[in-house]
Amino acid sequence: MLRHTTLPNNRTLASLFRTSAALSALPFALSLHSLSLKLCLAGDPFAGSALLSFYFKCRMPHHAHKVFDEIPDRDSVCYSAMIVGLAQNSRSVDALLVFADMRHCGFASTEHSISGGLRAASELAALEQCRMIHGHAVVAGFYSNVVVGCALVDGYGKAGVIENARQVFEDNLAWMNLVGWNAMMAGYAQQGDHKSTSELFDSMKCRGLVPDEYSFLAMLTALYNAGMFLQVDQWLTRMKVDYGLQPTLVHYTCLVGAMARAGQLEQAERVALTMPYEPDAAVWRALLSACAFHGEADKAWSVARRVLELEPHDDSAYVIVANVLSAAGRWDDVAELRKMLRDRRVKKQGGRSWIEVQGKVHVFAAGDWKHERSVEIYGKLEEMMGEIEKLGYVPVWDELLHNVEEEKRKEALWHHSEKLAVAFGVLCGSAPAGKPLRIVKNLRICKDCHEAFKYMTRILEREIIVRDVNRYHRFFNGNCTCRDIW
């Protein structure tokens, strides 16, 4: 076309951008973007939407945002591409802001903009945002849309409100596809409700739907979170033999973690070394966590070395193995670990927690004083920590803080992001009296916060729900549903 006299138009460019995204052809797409600027077509909504989607597919959200800002006459398709792309790139807060801007500017929603907004809300476990978008979907006539229905099930499931997810699922059952069934099972799996997950699995088959790898992942996750470790191997065998599905690395990670949690550390390591995939850091981390749980210092140190070979700056591996070694009195190894930490200049990944209050998401970092009500938040937190100490709470120290003086160690533990989020939730009444406080954390919840929250539920007389990177923790009356396994 370029060698002849015919110049490409906006539809030509849109088709080529979509093709480039499918092939991950970055150099060609960059040249095409340059050509679109020369032809004054980059600001066209049709071509611009396809270019947006391309940059998001290539994990280049900043470039996509620039393209979006340079489209003068945006339409619903542009906004949909932006919302979906931001949600897919874990820019959930930005996705919700763009969704709000779209509605403010009077553009009609599409099934994609609604499902993208729901995906963003689900990643934040932002229940009120999910409910608001749900209401909008009903008004806009998309409640019975299968894409929106599946996104609602996923959104409520990830927010931990499984009853709402089930209600949407039942309302749309007649046209619910495999994606929706898997989302419903995943919601139960996060809670460790293996019975409901298994019932859904059987019901799905009765309706003529064939389980896929995500169906089995939900089942394995449910069993693992329920502590039914020995059944994980049976379901993995069933996946291969009865359904002819090849387990992926994430399925084997579940198996390794389950066997190790059941105390079969040697067998778990054998599976990791003989499975048809090269074990990644996640596999070894699952084994390391189980070694720490069982107090196996030698095995933990050995497995930690494997983790650190693959991810030398994984601060969580250093913390886990340091605590195991110190508990076993192996101070020489702890000293070696500290030296390794210094030599590699490993910095602890910043923990962030967020809580939703009246539809607005508030984000906290450890030791964060950026919030406008920080003085009140720290005052409330100090008050609560003082009360739980009277009930018998004892701080759970990380061994890597061993050389820090006790007062500073205590302060560091007290000011973790999830504790600040809880204090803010109590302070401003994030939920009606008697309703749970809902916290989301970007990392694994630490042992000290886990212990502190057990006591906090007693003084607050209310449930605290924490969704960390591994699973849901429901604290109530001094206990957690995870039974200290996470």
User: Could you give the angle at which helices 127-139 and 146-158 cross, rounded to 10 degrees?
Assistant: 160
Residue 68 belongs to a domain: no
Residue 296 belongs to a domain: yes
* Angle, CA of 384, 390 and 394, to the nearest 5°: 85
* Residues 335 and 360 placed together within one structural domain of the fold: no
Residue 103 belongs to a domain: no
Alpha helix segments (H runs only) across 89-229: 92-104, 111-123, 127-139, 146-158, 162-171, 178-190, 194-206, 213-225
The Cα 255–Cα 269 span in angstroms is 11
* Residues 290 and 406 placed together within one structural domain of the fold: no
* Residues 392 and 451 placed together within one structural domain of the fold: yes
* Residues 364 and 464 placed together within one structural domain of the fold: yes
Residue 465 belongs to a domain: yes
* Residues 467 and 381 placed together within one structural domain of the fold: yes
CB 261 within 8 A of CB 288: no
Could you read off the pLDDT of 183-200 as tens digits, one per residue?
999 999 988 889 999 999
Residue 401 belongs to a domain: yes
Q: How many domains does the chain have?
A: 2
What is the dihedral sign for C-alpha 269, 348, 393, 190? negative
* Residues 288 and 390 placed together within one structural domain of the fold: no
* Residues 376 and 333 placed together within one structural domain of the fold: no
pLDDT in tens, the chain (486 residues): 888 888 889 899 999 999 998 888 899 999 999 989 988 888 888 888 899 999 999 899 999 999 998 888 888 999 999 999 999 998 988 999 999 999 999 998 999 999 999 999 888 888 888 899 999 999 999 988 899 999 999 999 888 888 999 999 999 888 899 999 999 999 999 888 899 999 999 999 888 899 999 999 999 999 988 888 889 989 999 999 999 999 999 999 999 988 998 889 999 999 999 999 999 999 999 999 889 888 888 899 889 889 988 888 888 888 888 888 888 888 888 888 888 887 887 776 677 898 888 778 888 988 888 888 899 999 999 999 999 999 998 887 665 555 545 556 667 778 888 999 999 998 887 656 667 888 988 888 888 899 999 999 999 888 898 988 777 888 988 888 887 776
Residue 67 belongs to a domain: no
* Residues 464 and 360 placed together within one structural domain of the fold: yes
Q: What is the CATH number of the domain that holds 290?
A: 1.25.40.10
Structure tokens at 143: 């409640």
Instruction: Supply the DSSP string of 407-428, one letter for each residue.
Output: HHHHHHHHT-HHHHHHHHHHHH
Cα distances (angstroms) measured from residue 374 to each of 87, 354, 388, 426, 448? 29, 14, 21, 13, 22
Residue 397 belongs to a domain: yes
Could you read off the pLDDT of 96-150 as tens digits, one per residue?
999 999 999 999 899 999 999 999 988 888 888 889 999 999 999 998 889 999 9
State which residues form the domain around 279: 264-349
Q: Look at residue 344 in the predicted model and tell me its pLDDT.
A: 80
Residue 14 belongs to a domain: no
* Residues 336 and 391 placed together within one structural domain of the fold: no
- Final residue before a domain boundary, out of 327, 349, 371: 349
CB 84 within 8 A of CB 68: no
- Final residue before a domain boundary, out of 349, 382, 401: 349
- Final residue before a domain boundary, out of 302, 329, 349: 349
SS3 state at 80? helix
* Residues 476 and 359 placed together within one structural domain of the fold: yes
The Cα 272–Cα 305 span in angstroms is 15
* Residues 372 and 280 placed together within one structural domain of the fold: no
The Cα 259–Cα 238 span in angstroms is 17
Q: Look at residue 402 in the predicted model and tell me its pLDDT.
A: 52
* Residues 426 and 466 placed together within one structural domain of the fold: yes
